[in-house]
Amino acid sequence: MVHRVFLCIGVVFLLLGFSSRSLLGSEKSDLQEKFADVLLVVNYNHPFYQSIPFLRQIYGGIFPNIIFYGESASSEVNQVYTHFGYEHARVVAHALKKYPGYSGYIFLQDDCFMNFWNYMRLDKTKIWLCVNQRSQFNRATLGDGYQTPSWCWWDSAWGLVQLRRIMPFLSSEELQMLNSNHGDQIVVGQVVDMFYVPGRLALHVSKLSEIFSNVFCELAIPTLLSCVDNIENWECLHAHWAGFCDQALRDYNPQLDWIHPLKFSSIKYKEFALQMIQEQCP
């Protein structure tokens, strides 16, 4: 998502040894039917909006409902300030309130590539994130600030200082769910370049996203989602955060659910995405 020097532990699922095959026509139709009532929310941390037509091209055949967010004004973009993506919870709150009534909401960064042909297995009534076990999260203790592992964002102006400030605004039920998921006084972090909120939780997540609006996104989203549902109910996405585009190409596996980053302002990465979609979902 935004630039960082720390790569979250537990994110890489390369799925070596698994064979891949393209979808049959009937399976593609099933995908189209499954996502006909889902809203795809694409966020730009920087105004590289020239890739919007391409994103519509590669995703529009499966996701008929696509909207865009960014900080800079454009006729095609919902303008929301996020401090270059740090405060992505603001986008989540805005989209869930402005566009009600969908069965679910996929939140995607513009440079994150979805291998959507793998999504038939995913339950639309559940949260989707690239973790669903305690051990897969980055963790910190609100009291003494102990971190497992150490991560610069906890000590930033968007980290523990903000999380401590907002805890009194959470209900007893939300705090109980958070404690049940991670332990007393524990908050969590993880990459959030792509995640899904089911429609049944939209109002609750929207409310919490407003409360968490000043928290760094990779702390805010995992923690607030942990306040609304047991992590054992979540769908675990197989994801890879590569750090650099060429590394993403080297690490790419069509069995992944998403990979980051691919900058679609580049013809090179556009051609790669088109080739993968043609092979996997012709």
Q: Which residues are CB-contacts of 92 (< 8 A; sequence separation ≥ 6)? A: 107, 197, 205, 206, 209, 221
In tens, the pLDDT along 89-146 reads: 999 999 999 999 999 999 999 999 999 999 999 999 999 999 988 889 999 999 999 9
Tell me if 63 is assigned to some domain: yes
Can you spell out the DSSP letters for 250-270?
HH--TTSSEEE---TTSHHHH
| Distance from C-alpha of 194 to C-alpha of 213, rounded to nearest angstrom | 18
Q: How confident is the model at residue 15 (pLDDT cuts 50, 70, 90)?
A: very low
Q: How confident is the model at residue 21 (pLDDT cuts 50, 70, 90)?
A: low
Calculate Rg over the CA atoms of the chain: 18
pLDDT on residue 132: 81
In tens, the pLDDT along 132-144 reads: 888 899 999 999 9
For residue 187, give the DSSP letter: E
Tell me if 13 is assigned to some domain: no
> For residue 31, which phi and psi values (nearest 5 degrees)?
-60, -45
Tell me if 3 is assigned to some domain: no
Tell me if 12 is assigned to some domain: no
> Looking at residues 146-160, what average pLDDT do you find?
95
**Domain count of the fold of the chain:** 1
Its sign, for the CA torsion 9, 128, 273, 4, is negative
Question: Residue 260: which CATH number?
Answer: 3.90.550
| Distance from C-alpha of 233 to C-alpha of 236, rounded to nearest angstrom | 9
Relative to beta strand 258-260, strand 138-141 is: unpaired
For residue 74, give the DSSP letter: B
> Looking at residues 250-259, what average pLDDT do you find?
97
Tell me if 239 is assigned to some domain: yes
Q: Domain of residue 100: give its range.
A: 25-280
Looking at every residue in the chain, the average pLDDT score rounds to 92
The pTM (predicted TM-score) of the whole model is: 0.93
In tens, the pLDDT along 43-101 reads: 999 999 999 999 999 999 999 999 999 999 999 999 999 999 999 999 999 999 999 99
Tell me if 8 is assigned to some domain: no
The answer to whether 66 touches 40, Cβ cutoff 8 Å, is yes
Three-state SS for 213-255 is CCCCHHHHHHHHHCCCCCHHHCEECCEEECCCHHHHHHHCCCC
| Distance from C-alpha of 260 to C-alpha of 282, rounded to nearest angstrom | 23
Q: How confident is the model at residue 282 (pLDDT cuts 50, 70, 90)?
A: confident
| Distance from C-alpha of 19 to C-alpha of 162, rounded to nearest angstrom | 45
Tell me if 85 is assigned to some domain: yes
Tell me if 137 is assigned to some domain: yes
